[in-house]
Amino acid sequence: MKTQLQKEAEKMSESNHAAVPDPNEGGFYFRAMRVLISNFARVYFRIEFHGFENVPTSGPYIVAPNHQSFFDPFWVSIPFPTPLRYMTWDKFVRMPILGHFIRSLGAFPVKLEKGDRSAMRSAAEHLRKGGRLMIFPEGGRTRDGDLAQFKPGVIRLAMDTGVPIIPATIVGGYEAYGPHMLFPLPRKVKIIFHPQFTFPQSVCENLSKEILLQQAATLQNVVEAGRKN
């Protein structure tokens, strides 16, 4: 039986509404910005990447990191050779200069003040086309450096679209450029990509709130464990 999210995604596809850009798109601007961001991060933040071999070389998936800094989407995206789409606060996307910049690197808007079904439909459409997506399960940036409770939306999206989740842990991002800072500090940042997080068929057939919350808690434990290594 199809879920409501699946029905809405199919309906939107039939209407020929392009919710997100082509998942394989990655032109000169993207490549140039990727090199610029990568070089800056490696020099200023001495950024390191571990476990990238856990990321599939083909097919759709969701990357699910903890959220420590405004720079998180850029840091996590560096090793990926093609655009990694990600949800971001709709107010950022509407800004004249910043909005154009982050849209060009893969962002699409989500209304954080309430459940944004349109953004979830866009995300499902993108995954069904074979694209890759980044979602921060905490919803917003940490205010104290600790992980906030993971929301179950990422679990539901993965189950509805049948794609794996790649948990990722950002270490040092809060110290480098936490929400309380006006300017980033040259602190070391490390990104850890964990093995794929998939779901048994029995779990996928039961999308109860309790199951979704249990799976979100398990995902959070994987990400949290990376902070202690």
Burial of 196 (0-12, 13-18, 19+ CB in 10 A): middle
Q: Give the number of domains in the chain.
A: 1
Q: What is the pLDDT of residues 19-56, one digit of tens each?
A: 344 454 566 778 888 899 999 999 999 999 999 999 99
Give the CATH number, domain containing residue 22: 3.40.1130.10
Q: What is the pLDDT of residues 184-205, one digit of tens each?
A: 999 999 999 999 998 877 677 7
Residue 128's domain comprises 4-227
* Non-local CB neighbours of 144 within 8 Å, separated by 6+ positions: none
The pTM of the full predicted model, rounded to 2 decimals, is 0.83
pLDDT at 139: 85
Query: 27, 83 in Cβ contact below 8 A?
Result: no
Q: What is the pLDDT of residues 88-114, one digit of tens each?
A: 777 767 777 767 777 777 777 776 555
Q: What is the pLDDT of residues 55-86, one digit of tens each?
A: 999 999 999 999 999 899 999 999 998 888 88
pLDDT at 26: 62
